[in-house]
Structure 1
Amino acid sequence: MDRTLVEKYAAPVPRYTSYPTAPHFNAAVSSTTYGGWLRALPKGASASLYIHVPYCDRLCWFCACHTKQTRRYDPVERYLRALECEIDTISALCGSRLNVRNLHLGGGSPTMLTPKDMMALGSRLREKFSFADDAEISVEIDPNDMDEARFDALAAVGLTRASLGVQDFDERVQKAINREQSFEQTKAVVNAVRARGVRSVNLDMLYGLPHQTLNSIAATTEKLLSLRPDRIALFGYAHVPWLKKHQTMIDDALLPDAVARLAQSEVAARLILDAGYEAVGMDHFSLPGDSLAVAAHAGTLRRNFQGYTTDQADALIGLGASSIGLLPHGYVQNMPATGEYERRVLAGGLATVRGFALSNADRMRAWVIERLMCDFSFSRCELLSRFGDGARGVIAEAELLAANDRDGVFVRAGNRFVVTERGKPFVRSIAAVFDAYLGQGTARHSVAV
């Protein structure tokens, strides 16, 4: 692809796992606001639960998650007691009215929990919330944490989807990002969870890391494909050292430029597609028949803070320090500092410190951005049907973008506005055109390719 085109569309923009994006959350949404929103959820509303465990026993230098390293387990035990209190408080506000369809444990490293604590957490959640019989239970697994007792604990919790970070199998790359994890370790975890009945395995890999080359990316992809995961996420490394100080351990001079990043992603994507996977959104792949591929074909694919998802729940409830939730009224985020989070919930309150109350205009732009990120297009008629005359301004923006496009990345095709094949690598930049908040404030983002 032409270097000038890549550099034009590679400017830093959000990843759009929400709209408005988290930097625009504000303190006007408080614990009192959140409590009212929870009480307003109707009986029978569907819900997803996200549990954040902000601890790791090693710190990967590439990571942009909210986490901290600990060699001791007592901070984790203390945190779990606080998490139990938050579960109890939220359950008292809305738990009996909700039908939980999804549970996701993320981090950090939730698999550093002891088997006893993992099972106790699962039991408490099922005691306080009503889970659907076919609820999806997914956990992010660090292979370095795992032993037979932990595998058994995950099975006891009801694990249905395991997600493992591979990043890269090249030893030189692994040392440069402080994430040493052999192919044999990864394979052993995949085999162990499948042996316990887990029906879906997701593997994550990264491009844009130090020392990566087209050959090393290809080699890692081939090894990953040999495990035949049900889903693959191919993420571009987000280098944000101003936000995550441990990323300063990665030498900027070793990172590929935007053109090299795009080439790396295309090499991996081609190998994955040639192996029989289907592309889903801008950076996911799944086997045909997987629910993610089915949702993509049906136009029901969604996007949230966990990436692309089939989750159609009415409410996403975040539990734990820094967790973000989404209710019909808007977004809420918990206190990120673990000590202050613990103090607030142990006192019997909610830990909400900021959020965003959505207007109809926000919901409209959120819908457009999500459809672009999921389907690479949106329907003019459906937009009008959903949002009425208020949508005409956004339609005018789309008409102008298509009319002025000289790069062949965005067109109007009958009733639809479409990101072309040439434009798909730049969909984040195209979606950003419809972001009414972009440029407000001081937030900085990772490159868009």
Structure 2
Amino acid sequence: MSNDLIAKYGDARLPRYTSYPTAPAFSATVGPDEYADGLADIAKAGPVSVYLHVPFCRSMCWYCGCHTTITRQDAPVADYLDVMSQEIELVSFAAGNDVAVKNVHFGGGTPTIMRPQEFSALMAKLRSAFVFEADAGVAVEIDPRTLAAPIIDALAENGVDRASLGVQSFDPVVQAAINRLQSFEQTETAVVGLRSSGVSSINFDLVYGLPKQTVQSCIETVRLAAELRPERFAVFGYAHIPAFKKHQRLIDESTLPDAKQRNEQAEAIAEELQKVGYQRIGLDHFALPDDQLAIAARKGAMRRNFQGYTTDDCDNLIGLGASAIGRLPTGYMQNHVPLGLYAERIASGVLPTAKGYLLTEEDKLRAKIIERLMCDFEADLGKLSSGSGFDTGFLVERNDRLGELMADGVVTISGERIIVSQEARFMVRAVAAAFDAYFGSHGRTHSKAA
């Protein structure tokens, strides 16, 4: 792939397509009433996943794109968890108290900022409010720098079987540039503790495109991380959006790599991970061959949701906590972001929905196409549209973005199959955008495509 095309598509600001439509399409015209209506029927749609957002950290990492608040005290966290427990009751009541739960995911922020007894109490609240399947999985995102033995014990006692650890980079120069000092030894101690407690699947997050990062530092980070043999890696490109995340202004933009350098870093990480036995999964994940994600990818059964690539086959998600997004059969619902406003709504006995989006049948078809492109690098339009009542010709004809991608050799069309070229797979988000009816209409800045 030429440097011109890398610059053309790699510099493009595109959604990550962990949902469709993406969050900029959400509207405040969708609120608590629509959420309640959707919850009333959710139990009929089969088991759901539950996501709990814990928006607190002990320190701010300058690259962070999450909704989080810095606190050195435990009281704000405890108060927030009390509010979240009340939200669980409201949601459970609206859903009829008989929703089956297949997966639980704690995200942040830093979920393990909770004290052990708080984590146990929150899990007990969930189990009393919903019907957990016998083999329900529980996953937690973890900052290794603050993980202590008591919380590891609490994770084990409450059925946590998957953990995702933030690593980003082991290069001390890069760590200083993003305000996240984390030694290999801290990470190793966390992994050993989690393994001994029975956590069967561990994921590491790595990031490329960071300030002062080089291809060599990326390779050295992979070599160190691979020594700990996590089952999976998620490798993300840093999204520099200081207009939305003011703390990112602390990063010296002159030290950020350009599109070509970002691509070189991403490919160096991929090559190194594959050298040590990891299978490349989708756009930015890697897994050991016997891991369930790798198996799902080989079978064409991998899914994509707000957690990225996943084996989670639930079509619906209940989002709990400030800023959390859920997906119901009717559409997407997002809670208020400000902690005070979120708590105020809950205290009033009202579901804290700030905005959302009600899906049309066309949206559902486009979502299927985009998910398969993101997961498989190809999509069979005829197969995906079967029974929908849509003639897929309207998705291809007069599709200028798709035509440009074809002219550039990024995609080919065989019958009704859209196929991303092998050498252009890192541009798959640009291909997905060609099927996004709302792309570019909301004035939102997304992360770079590569």
Contact 2:405-2:411 at 8 Å conserved across structures: no
Percent identity, aligned pairs only, is 47
1:8 corresponds in structure 2 to 8
Contact 1:44-1:97 at 8 Å conserved across structures: no
Q: Distance between the aligned counterparts of 2:126 and 2:45, measured in 1?
A: 17
Shift of 1:401: 3.0
Q: Distance between the aligned counterparts of 1:375 and 1:63, measured in 2?
A: 28
Shift of 1:37: 0.6
TM-score by length of 1: 0.97
Contact 1:211-1:254 at 8 Å conserved across structures: yes
Shift of 1:129: 1.0
Contact 2:402-2:431 at 8 Å conserved across structures: no
Q: Which amino acid letter does the alignment assign opposite residue 4 of structure 1? A: D
Q: Distance between the aligned counterparts of 1:388 and 1:283, measured in 2?
A: 34
Unaligned runs of 5+ in 1: none
Q: Which amino acid letter does the alignment assign opposite residue 306 of structure 1? A: Q
Assess, with a 3 A threshold, how the Cα gap between structure 1 residues 73 and 436 changes in structure 2: closer, same or farther. Answer: same
Assess, with a 3 A threshold, how the Cα gap between structure 1 residues 65 and 403 changes in structure 2: closer, same or farther. Answer: closer
The aligned length equals 449
Assess, with a 3 A threshold, how the Cα gap between structure 1 residues 108 and 95 changes in structure 2: closer, same or farther. Answer: farther
The answer to whether structure 1 residue 429 and structure 2 residue 430 are counterparts is yes
Name the SS for the 2:356 alignment partner.
Answer: strand
Of stretches 35-44 and 45-54 in structure 1, the one that deviates more from structure 2 is 35-44
The answer to whether structure 1 residue 335 and structure 2 residue 354 are counterparts is no
Shift of 1:399: 10
1:165 corresponds in structure 2 to 166
Of stretches 409-418 and 333-342 in structure 1, the one that deviates more from structure 2 is 409-418
1:382 corresponds in structure 2 to 383
Q: Distance between the aligned counterparts of 1:381 and 1:444, measured in 2?
A: 32
Shift of 1:34: 0.3
2:201 corresponds in structure 1 to 200
1:103 corresponds in structure 2 to 104
Alignment of 1:3-402 (within 5 A): 3-10=3-10, 11-43=12-44, 45-94=46-95, 96-396=97-397, 401=402
Contact 1:95-1:128 at 8 Å conserved across structures: no
Unaligned runs of 5+ in 2: none
Q: Which amino acid letter does the alignment assign opposite residue 7 of structure 1? A: A
Shift of 1:391: 2.7
Superposition RMSD in Å: 1.5
Q: Distance between the aligned counterparts of 2:375 and 2:405, measured in 1?
A: 23
Name the SS for the 1:265 alignment partner.
Answer: helix
Assess, with a 3 A threshold, how the Cα gap between structure 1 residues 405 and 170 changes in structure 2: closer, same or farther. Answer: same
Shift of 1:3: 1.7
Deviations 1:55-84 (A, max 9, x none): 111111100000010111111111111001
Q: Distance between the aligned counterparts of 1:376 and 1:95, measured in 2?
A: 39
Q: Distance between the aligned counterparts of 2:4 and 2:401, measured in 1?
A: 22
Q: Distance between the aligned counterparts of 1:381 and 1:15, measured in 2?
A: 24
Could you list the runs of 4 or more consecutive aligned residues of structure 1 that deviate by over 4 angstroms after TM superposition?
397-400
Contact 2:43-2:100 at 8 Å conserved across structures: no
TM-score by length of 2: 0.97
Of stretches 380-389 and 303-312 in structure 1, the one that deviates more from structure 2 is 380-389
Q: Distance between the aligned counterparts of 1:423 and 1:143, measured in 2?
A: 35
Shift of 1:398: 6.8
Assess, with a 3 A threshold, how the Cα gap between structure 1 residues 353 and 399 changes in structure 2: closer, same or farther. Answer: closer
Q: Distance between the aligned counterparts of 1:203 and 1:400, measured in 2?
A: 34
Q: Which amino acid letter does the alignment assign opposite residue 163 of structure 1? A: S
Q: Which amino acid letter does the alignment assign opposite residue 333 of structure 1? A: Q
Q: Which amino acid letter does the alignment assign opposite residue 129 of structure 1? A: F
Deviations 1:245-264 (A, max 9, x none): 00101111000000000000
Deviations 1:284-333 (A, max 9, x none): 01111211112111212111111111111132000000000001110000
Assess, with a 3 A threshold, how the Cα gap between structure 1 residues 65 and 29 changes in structure 2: closer, same or farther. Answer: same
Q: Distance between the aligned counterparts of 1:3 and 1:382, measured in 2?
A: 35
Name the SS for the 1:97 alignment partner.
Answer: coil
Name the SS for the 2:407 alignment partner.
Answer: coil
Of stretches 66-75 and 37-46 in structure 1, the one that deviates more from structure 2 is 37-46
